[in-house]
Amino acid sequence: MELKNRINIFISGLSIVEKVIFLNIVIYIIPFILNTVLFLFNIKNIDLVKWFTIDADLSQLIFKPWSFITYGFLHGSFSHIFWNMIILYYFGKILNNLFGDRLFKNLYLSGIAIGGFTYVISYNIFPAFKGIDSVMIGASAGVMSVLFYLASYNPQRIIRIFLFDIKIIYVALFLFIYDIIQIPLNNSGGHIAHIGGAVWGYYYCIKYSRGEDLIKSFFKIFKKPRKSSINQHNYKSKFDQKRIDSILDKISDSGYDSLTKSEKEYLFKVGKNKDNRSQNNI
């Protein structure tokens, strides 16, 4: 229990950027531990990692839609995760200090998802990739979205790379052009995903600077308006629909003058409440 408390205290003291990096490191280590366990028990032909990688083949992808996010927490080598996490730490810290936890999480995760979509779409529309069986892993699309958000927000910002000071816009442009050049040479899907994440980071910043959070707007689509439903509930609970129907039938048969004083007053209240309710929904 003491060890568990220490771990909880350690994690709670991390910033959101450090928590994401810590999670990536833990997930990177887990497959090695699983491989050791499978080896000791002589269990073969089991590949659990494949359920979390993203496939270009739509017939495979349809069975694991969660892979649009999970692929971004898998890495193929130590150098792969090392450089991704170094860059994420450096630029993620800047973004987090400027805009807070929510924007960092939204941008990083959506950047991974957009990078995945860019990869899948590209492998299914460009003739160069026809017939190629491809999967992808890595957080680079999310990292690129963070970098390009910052480059769009303040292109003249000076950053230090080793012993040199350079404007962030030059770093972003260099990486963008490098990814374009590398597509025909190696790791085509990875470089395409980088470009998707980069464009998303730039676009996200443009919209955010105009007061629109793309992720917040996306989830608003699925929210039902509450005000009208509450008003409708109050209307039904306050008035008896059967009595209203009975009064309306009486008017239809014998005319308005046939109503009693209490029936006229009741109908008047219903009409007045309807008018007020309509005004509230405008």
**pLDDT tens for residues 109-118?**
999 999 999 9
Residue type present at position 65: P
Task: Identify whether residues 162 and 262 lie together within a single domain.
Answer: no
| Number of domains composing the chain | 2
User: What is the C-alpha to C-alpha distance for residues 114 and 199, in angstroms, rounded to an integer?
Assistant: 9
The reported pLDDT for the residue numbered 280 is 40
The residue among 220, 244, 269 that closes a domain is 220
20-33: average pLDDT: 95
Local confidence band at 21 (pLDDT 50, 70, 90 cut-offs)? very high
Local confidence band at 201 (pLDDT 50, 70, 90 cut-offs)? very high
Domain of residue 109, CATH code = 1.20.1540.10
Quote the percentage of the chain above a pLDDT of 70.
85
Task: Identify whether residues 191 and 256 lie together within a single domain.
Answer: no
Task: Identify whether residues 191 and 266 lie together within a single domain.
Answer: no
202-220: average pLDDT: 89
Return the ∠ at Cα 6 (arms to 74 and 93), rounded to 5°.
50
| pLDDT tens string 38-97 | 999 998 888 889 999 999 999 999 999 999 999 999 999 999 999 999 999 999 999 999
pTM: 0.76
Phi and psi torsions of 135, nearest 5°:
-130, 165
Using CB atoms within 10 A of its CB, is residue 24 exposed (0-12), middle (13-18) or buried (19+)? buried
Sign of the alpha-carbon dihedral angle for 111, 112, 113, 114 = positive
The reported pLDDT for the residue numbered 26 is 96
Residue 264 scores a pLDDT above 80: no
User: What is the C-alpha to C-alpha distance for residues 154 and 168, in angstroms, rounded to an integer?
Assistant: 8
Residue 27 scores a pLDDT above 60: yes
Of residues 174 and 225, the one with the higher pLDDT is 174
Task: Identify whether residues 196 and 232 lie together within a single domain.
Answer: no
Asked if 257 and 267 count as a contact pair (C-beta separation under 8 A), the reply is no
137-141: average pLDDT: 96
User: What is the C-alpha to C-alpha distance for residues 21 and 96, in angstroms, rounded to an integer?
Assistant: 14
Task: Identify whether residues 142 and 252 lie together within a single domain.
Answer: no
User: What is the C-alpha to C-alpha distance for residues 225 and 228, in angstroms, rounded to an integer?
Assistant: 7
CA distances, 60 to each of 52, 54, 116, 131, 279 (Å): 11, 9, 14, 14, 52
The residue among 183, 203, 220 that closes a domain is 220
Task: Identify whether residues 246 and 157 lie together within a single domain.
Answer: no
Which of 11, 115, 124 has the alpha carbon at shortest distance from 59?
Answer: 124
Task: Identify whether residues 171 and 255 lie together within a single domain.
Answer: no
The per-residue pLDDT of the chain, averaged, comes to: 87
Task: Identify whether residues 169 and 110 lie together within a single domain.
Answer: yes
Local confidence band at 278 (pLDDT 50, 70, 90 cut-offs)? very low
The reported pLDDT for the residue numbered 128 is 95
Task: Identify whether residues 186 and 275 lie together within a single domain.
Answer: no
User: What is the C-alpha to C-alpha distance for residues 127 and 13, in angstroms, rounded to an integer?
Assistant: 49
**Which residue's entry shows tokens 């969660």?**
66
Q: Which two tokens stand for residue 262?
A: 């209490």
The reported pLDDT for the residue numbered 229 is 47
Q: What is the span of the domain harbouring residue 244?
A: 227-280
Task: Identify whether residues 265 and 148 lie together within a single domain.
Answer: no
**Which residue's entry shows tokens 């499978």?**
38
Task: Identify whether residues 103 and 243 lie together within a single domain.
Answer: no
| pLDDT tens string 177-187 | 999 999 999 99
Of residues 6 and 15, the one with the higher pLDDT is 15
Local confidence band at 238 (pLDDT 50, 70, 90 cut-offs)? low
The residue among 220, 235, 254 that closes a domain is 220
Task: Identify whether residues 109 and 213 lie together within a single domain.
Answer: yes
Q: Which helix (H) or strand (E) holds 158?
A: strand 158-161
